Chains A and B, each alone.
Chain A
Amino acid sequence: MAINLGAPKGKPGRATPSMNVTPLVDVVLVLLIIFMVITPLMARQFWIHLPNQEEKNEPPAPDDNNQTIVVSVTKAGEIMINNAVVSEAAFPEKLKRVLAAKGDRTIFFDADEEAEFGKAVATMDLARAGGANTIAVLTQPLAHP
């Protein structure tokens, strides 16, 4: 006995099976819309510190290790701690050590004009993974050597 796929009618006298998809579509639609609502609400925040302008005359000396820690991102996307290039994988560990040596969990941050903002934020994120509590952005471009 062959199964008659796709035939509009079955054996005479038997009811044609038909599926009522309306409730299914209804539920799927509602789920879709619920996710459309929830996804934009998942955006979170990341607080960064803008140092007071008076603080600005305490200039971060990038080459002076015991002064301030300056994390910067170059145009090519490399991460630097006080002008020394650090690989992305080693960066949190390295920063953890530098911060421990300093005892203060504040870092200054800057990136190249052409650097991508997403990359800059990802670096700040890694810095937070490395234990930096306060991230202050420098509003004057760093003089890159």
Chain B
Amino acid sequence: MTAVDPVRQKRGKRVDGSLFFFILLSGAICFESYNLGLGTLSNPAPGLFPFLTGAILGFLSILWLVINLLPGGPWGWLNISISWGRVVPMLGGLFLYSIILDFLGFALATFLLVLALLKGIERKSWVSSSMVAIGISIFSYIVFRIWLRVQLPEGFLGI
């Protein structure tokens, strides 16, 4: 019977999909860097340094994989739970916000973003969402536009 490695048991052996992502990424980095040209050691070309970073990244990823797959106790696939129902709408909202910012202007775009976040993700009522959205829009406008004088788009409303 193989003794269980107490260090690995304490840390928990785990393998997850990110390692395969980084292995693929390192391959892509090395490939693209090679195309940029590696030059020579005495005259390094633009591709040498990124090639080395890609190679080291790949080596470290494979090393981690090997360490966790060595015999000495069970290993498991790390299960990650991602709240796509919240992450996607939030990032999508930010993406749309940045697109409409120039057209609608900062004040209106901010109001719509906050309203969408509170109503869509936090499931607050229309009244509280609207009140908080108005409050945050005004506060942000005062801070950025008036106090810090940051150049912000005015949009078709001119505010």
Same complex origin of A and B = no
Where the two chains meet, the residues of B that have a C-beta atom closer than 8 Å to any C-beta of A are none
Where the two chains meet, the residues of A that have a C-beta atom closer than 8 Å to any C-beta of B are none
